[in-house]
């Protein structure tokens, strides 16, 4: 979700019922060394009632310092989450994210630094360690609980699977049954049915939506109400426009329009648009370019682009 879950993304999602939001991953080393991107990642809207910050790293001293920065800074986050689940290669190569699960001693050392220096709610996100044996995943989850983690999100795939293949719901269920802290089920949620199925199969009352919200923020409304509500062309274009406007507000027009291309594409994906129209997205460089594209989307024949899916 890096590059997506910024303040504009969350503002759109909150219009559709998101409450428990989280920042994009922030690297502990980047915090320690004052990376200029930190301000964008950590920008919290004044209207956001609840926001969790998500920390990544594998060096205990960096974890200690970055936790104190987050504790003493101006953001006032409601919870601190430690990422043990990111499977991206550049993260794995640094022995962080999902790679840290295979070094439980260091992982626990990092979490102890967080627990000792963070006065609020502390959570962690992890992946499963084996598909056919829940014991290794249960053991790590219990160690996290023992050190003071108060909530755990479990992605039901191995790190090497990235985001492909079936979610091993039985492993998530086994974790839930063997710890005393809340467990959130994660993995493969793109529809209301996906969320309901994963909740039923794992026994978890809580599910985490990630990639399934990109270009589909109304998934939160569907899950909250338990009903799929069709999206009209007008609502889709209004939501997309609001998202782009918030991007401009956050980054300025020049930066926002470059960042917005992938956002616009995500809203239009899978809607049967002609190639010529979809190709125009990569040429959007100004607000006026976007307005012209939106006008074409407004007038294109309904039978060409079904906006009700």
Question: Which are the catalytic amino acids?
Answer: 86
Q: Which of 219, 209, 160 minimizes the C-alpha distance to 187? A: 209
- Region 129-150: mean pLDDT is 97
CATH classification at residue 245 = 1.10.1200
C-alpha–C-alpha distance, residues 260 and 217, integer Å: 15
- Region 254-268: mean pLDDT is 93
**Residue-wise DSSP of the chain:** -TTT-SHHHHHHHHHTT--SEEEEEEEHHHHHTT-TTHHHHH---TT-S-EEEEEE---HHHHHHHHHHHHHSS---SEEEEEE----HHHHTTT-GGGGGG-HHHHHHHHHHHHHH--SEEEEEEE-S-SS--HHHHHHHHHHHHHT--EEEEESS-GGGTT-S---HHHHHHHHHT-SS-EEEES---SHHHHHHHHHHH--SEEE-SGGGTT-TTHHHHHHHTS--PPPHHHHHHHHHHHHHHHHHHHHHHHHHHHHHHHHHHHHTTS---HHHHHGGGG--SHHHHHHHHHHHHHS-TTTS-TT-
Q: Which of 220, 174, 176, 182 minimizes the C-alpha distance to 79? A: 182
Query: Do 125 and 194 sit in the same domain of this protein?
Result: yes
Query: Do 221 and 243 sit in the same domain of this protein?
Result: no
For residue 302, what pLDDT is reported? 58
Query: Do 256 and 142 sit in the same domain of this protein?
Result: no
pLDDT at 309 over 60: no
Query: Do 56 and 165 sit in the same domain of this protein?
Result: yes
pLDDT at 304 over 80: no
Domain-ending residue, one of 190, 225, 260: 225
C-alpha–C-alpha distance, residues 220 and 21, integer Å: 11
CATH classification at residue 179 = 3.20.20.70
Domain-ending residue, one of 225, 257, 273: 225
Query: Do 199 and 68 sit in the same domain of this protein?
Result: yes
Task: Please state at what angle helix 169-177 crosses helix 192-202, rounded to 10 degrees.
Answer: 50
For residue 306, what pLDDT is reported? 53
Judge whether 195 lies within some domain: yes
Judge whether 306 lies within some domain: no
The domain tally of the chain equals: 2
List beta partners, residue 79. 52, 121
For residue 279, what pLDDT is reported? 84
pLDDT at 49 over 70: yes
Please report which confidence band the pLDDT of residue 81 belongs to, taking 50, 70 and 90 as the band edges: very high
Domain with 271, as residue range(s), is 233-299
- Region 132-139: mean pLDDT is 96
* 88-122: pLDDT as tens digits: 889 999 899 999 999 999 999 999 999 999 999 99
For residue 307, what pLDDT is reported? 54
Judge whether 1 lies within some domain: no
* 221-244: pLDDT as tens digits: 999 999 999 899 899 999 999 999
C-alpha–C-alpha distance, residues 192 and 216, integer Å: 12
Domain-ending residue, one of 202, 225, 248: 225
Provide the whole-model pTM. Answer: 0.92
What's the mean per-residue pLDDT of the chain?
93
- Region 116-137: mean pLDDT is 97
Judge whether 308 lies within some domain: no
């Amino acid at each position: 979700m890096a590059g997506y879950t910024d303040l504009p993304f969350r503002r759109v999602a909150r219009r559709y019922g998101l409450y428990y939001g989280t920042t994009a991953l922030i690297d502990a080393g980047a915090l320690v060394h004052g990376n200029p991107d930190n301000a964008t990642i950590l920008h919290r809207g004044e209207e956001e009632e609840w926001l969790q910050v998500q920390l990544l790293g594998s060096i205990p001293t960096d974890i200690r310092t970055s936790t104190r920065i987050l504790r003493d800074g101006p953001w006032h986050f409601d919870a601190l989450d430690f990422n043990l689940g990111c499977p991206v290669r550049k993260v794995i190569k640094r022995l962080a994210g999902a790679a840290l699960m295979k070094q439980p001693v260091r992982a626990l050392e990092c979490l102890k630094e967080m627990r000792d220096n963070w006065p609020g709610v502390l959570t962690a996100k992890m992946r499963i360690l084996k598909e056919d044996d829940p014991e290794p995943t249960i053991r790590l989850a219990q160690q996290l609980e023992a050190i003071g983690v108060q909530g755990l999100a479990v992605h039901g795939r191995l790190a090497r699977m990235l985001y492909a293949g079936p979610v091993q719901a039985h492993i998530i269920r086994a974790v839930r049954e063997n710890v005393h802290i809340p467990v959130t089920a994660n993995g493969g949620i793109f529809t209301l049915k996906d969320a309901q199925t994963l909740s039923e199969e794992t026994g978890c009352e809580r599910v985490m939506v990630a990639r399934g919200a990109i270009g589909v923020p109304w998934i939160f409304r569907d899950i909250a109400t338990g009903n799929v509500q069709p999206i009209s062309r007008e609502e889709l274009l209004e939501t997309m426009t609001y998202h782009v406007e918030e991007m401009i507000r956050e980054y300025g027009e020049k930066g926002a329009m470059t960042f917005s291309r992938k956002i616009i594409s995500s809203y239009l994906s899978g809607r049967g648009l002609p190639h010529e129209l979809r190709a125009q997205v990569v040429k959007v460089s100004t607000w006026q370019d976007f307005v012209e594209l939106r006008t074409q989307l407004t007038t294109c024949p309904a039978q060409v682009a079904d906006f009700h899916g």
